[in-house]
Amino acid sequence: MNIITRKFDTLVIGAGGAGLRAALQLSHADAKVAVVSKVFPTRSHTVAAQGGMNAALGNVTPDNWHWHMYDTVKGSDYLGDQDAIEYMCRAAPDTIIELEHFGVPFSRLENGRIYQRPFGGQSQNFGGDQAARTCAAADRTGHAMLHTLYQQNIRAKTHFFDEFFAVDLLKNKAGDVLGAIAYDIETSEKIIIEAKTTLIATGGAGQLFRTNTNASINTGDGMAMALRAGIPLQDMEFFQFHPTGVAGKGMLITEGVRGEGGYLINCDGERFMERYAPHAKDLASRDVVSRAIAIEIREGRGCGSNKDHVLLKLDHLGSDVIKKRLPGIRDTSLTFLGIDPIEEPIPVFPTAHYTMGGIPTNRNGEVVVPMGIGGEEVIPGLYAAGECACASVHGANRLGGNSLLDIVVFGRAAGNHIIDFLKSHHYHQILADDCIDEALARLERWENPLHKQDEESNNSSESYSVPQLKEELQQVMEEKCGVFRTEKVLAEGVEKVKQIKDKFEHAYITDHSVIFNTARVEALELENLIEIGLATVISALARKESRGAHSRVDYEIRDDESWMKHSLYYMNDHRLNYKPVHTKALSVDTFPPKERVY
């Protein structure tokens, strides 16, 4: 192999909150860390998180981690693993304090402590009064966190490979992961990064859907790398639709708007959430609010000339609160709609937002797969954290404010576990020459200018541009795998996405240049996205119940008897497997499933 090879203790793929938090832990422990990111780290999508991060600090309302755990288990519609949830909720307060010490500019209360706001699905005392658990830096919490974590990493001298695209994991015959192959987007130079441990922290795949709140980089690259390495993806049928994306455009309007006292109205001016969730109203869980909006619109109570959205009213909060606590979404509304929310409500619609499923891990961030007799065997040296992973703390529906928490808690936990692992693994394993062949073939396909001509001379009607196929995929996913699902529509979705995968064999790009070729990046991203689309729609077709974000019109009831289990989707043969939910917590009693009302 005449490809540059670099050796590190740990390779972190992805420079969002999870990757940077892990890298920081490792750099502090003097491990040699390489962070590979396809964008400059502060451009990672953590930067766009708005409302905040949950931790039972109790700065505003009485609180404790056990109540946070209850809310998270209930929010997950009982599909979350209770051991991992207990771990996360217990770790939350310390993790937040640590971030504050790193420099995150949290908003403050009069007594100088961190400001906390109410968010959806939060309660005191196991389902009692609304809690205020979400620590916020105005409505730019993700930005504040990501920049701080990057700053701490440059202080700790973490080694960054900025604008490098990771292509595939490298494996030996025994199935151990020994690093990854990537290339420099600026020069197209390939690089092998050998590592004793590899952490995948590449984020979600919101680009699957036409209207989404996600950045264009959110194409599920790490999840697809895992699939190609033979690792299944867990619970991919659960995709969160955020109730308040800007109607028709998709920009996120934080749940913090409702946390600060905003509410949704239909065309009659009715505060309709009172009917769907009499107790929590607009601060019910996201799946509940998204479905309510969809029903209002379906039943003809939508707003606007096409009756295709509802309104988020916040003018009653007053200009001071909006300018102080929600300046970012005011900017967004002014820029994209020309609407000042101080005076007028914002048109909103449920918008694809968050991938609950992902690479199966335990609470140390270790990737676990069914091998041998047990259902969850660790792949030594391979870790995943953040939105690309499934620990599973979000189960069938993530609570707002638990995502920023997830990335720092499990980024940190993975970092700590890697430090331990390195103590007993001093040497790099030997890399076989042929382990990169497949990845190289995938790369070379886009380097060859003859490819398109070949295709066209063979059969000119059968070639597709990459943007054209991406649009088709997003359209299919939106139509066939949205808020409400049925057997028939999902089955059509599976067929359509399979067809898109076939068409991708005949996809072409016209730009074969070497320097900063963004067309090639997009082709590789689409290849990843198609695999995630298949995982999502196939897992969704198989699950014959309604739970959390997966809402089947033909199976309206949650079926704990048959379906309180995690799905595992394998790329080979599109096979599905299942494993039990961890209902046993670490130290407290199990929260048994019960009817979920807000």
106 binds other proteins, rule: CB under 8 A = yes
Q: Does residue 305 bind other proteins (CB under 8 A)?
A: no
List 183's β-bridge partners, or say none: 165, 190
DSSP state of 437: H
Question: Interface with other proteins includes 42 (CB under 8 A)?
Answer: yes
Contacting other proteins within 174-203 (CB under 8 A): 186
Q: Of the candidates 529, 544, 528, 550, which has an alpha carbon nearest to the alpha carbon of residue 576?
A: 544
Given 286, 291, 325, 552, the catalytic residue: 286
Q: Is 217 in the site for other proteins (CB under 8 A)?
A: yes
Q: Does 464 bind other proteins (CB under 8 A)?
A: no
- Taking the complex as a whole, the smallest distance from the CB of residue 336 to other proteins amounts, in Å, to 8
Structure tokens of 464? 């597709």
Buried b (16+ CB within 10 A) or exposed e, 397-422: bbbbbbbbbbbbbbbbbbbbbbbebb
Report how far residue 36's alpha carbon sits from residue 75's, in angstroms, rounded to the nearest whole number. Answer: 33
Nearer Cβ to other proteins, position 402 or 517?
A: 517
Q: Which of 35, 39, 169, 273 binds other proteins (CB under 8 A)?
A: 39
Stretch that binds other proteins, among 120-128, 236-244, 327-335, 407-415 (CB under 8 A): 327-335
Residue 279 in contact with other proteins, rule: CB under 8 A = no
| 306 contributes a contact to other proteins by CB under 8 A | no
What whole-number distance in Å separates Cα of residue 135 and Cα of residue 409? 15
State which of residues 85, 88, 91, 114 lies at the interface with other proteins (CB under 8 A).
Answer: 114
Using the minimum distance from each CB to other proteins, give the nearer residue, 115 or 421.
115
Cβ-contact 482, 419 below 8 angstroms: no
Q: Which of 152, 234, 351, 551 binds other proteins (CB under 8 A)?
A: 152
137 binds other proteins (CB under 8 A): yes
As to burial, measured by CB atoms within 10 angstroms (0-12 exposed, 13-18 middle, 19+ buried), residue 433 is exposed
Of positions 1, 6, 28, 48, contacts other proteins by CB under 8 A: 48
Share of the chain residues as helix, strand and coil, in percent rounded to the nearest 5: 40, 20, 40
Q: Compute the Cα dihedral for 138, 253, 408, 195 and give only its sign.
A: negative
In 3D, which of 39, 26, 10 has the Cα closest to residue 193? 10
Q: Cα 240 to the chain's mean position, in Å?
A: 9
Residue 43 within binding range of other proteins, rule CB under 8 A: yes
Query: CB atoms < 10 A from the CB of 308, how many?
Result: 13
Nearer to other proteins, 332 or 528 (CB): 332
What is the β-pairing status of strands 4-13 and 190-200? Answer: parallel
- Could you give the CA distance from residue 220 to residue 22 in angstroms, rounded to a whole number? 19
Nearer to other proteins, 42 or 64 (CB): 42
**151 lines the binding site for other proteins (CB under 8 A):** yes
286 catalytically annotated: yes
Alpha-carbon separation of residue 389 from 154, 217, 218, 234, 394 (angstroms): 25, 17, 14, 9, 11
Please name which of 6, 8, 5, 7 lies closest in space to residue 418, comparing C-alpha atoms.
8
- Is 553 one of the binding residues for other proteins (CB under 8 A)? no
Q: Which two tokens stand for residue 400?
A: 């707002």
Query: Is 248 among the residues that bind other proteins (CB under 8 A)?
Result: no
> Are residues 319 and 342 in contact, defined by beta-carbon separation less than 8 angstroms?
yes
Mark the segment that binds other proteins (CB under 8 A) among 17-25, 63-71, 103-111, 308-316: 103-111
How many other β-carbons are positioned within 10 Å of the β-carbon of residue 374?
11
Instruction: CB nearer to other proteins: give 144 or 419.
Output: 144
Residue 155 or 298: the one with the smaller Cβ distance to other proteins is: 155
* The binder of other proteins chosen from 331, 437, 444, 559 (CB under 8 A): 331
587 by Cβ neighbours in 10 Å (0-12 / 13-18 / 19+) ranks as exposed
* Per-residue mark of binding to other proteins, 497-536 (x: CB under 8 A): ------------xxx-xxxxxxx-----------------
Count of residues touching other proteins (by CB under 8 A): 60
Site for other proteins in 352-411 (CB under 8 A): none
Interacting residue ranges for other proteins, rule: CB under 8 A: 39-40, 42-45, 47-48, 96-97, 100-103, 105-114, 137-138, 140, 143-144, 147-148, 151-152, 154-155, 186, 215-217, 251-252, 328, 331-332, 335-336, 338, 465, 467-468, 509-511, 513-519
Active-site residue set: 286
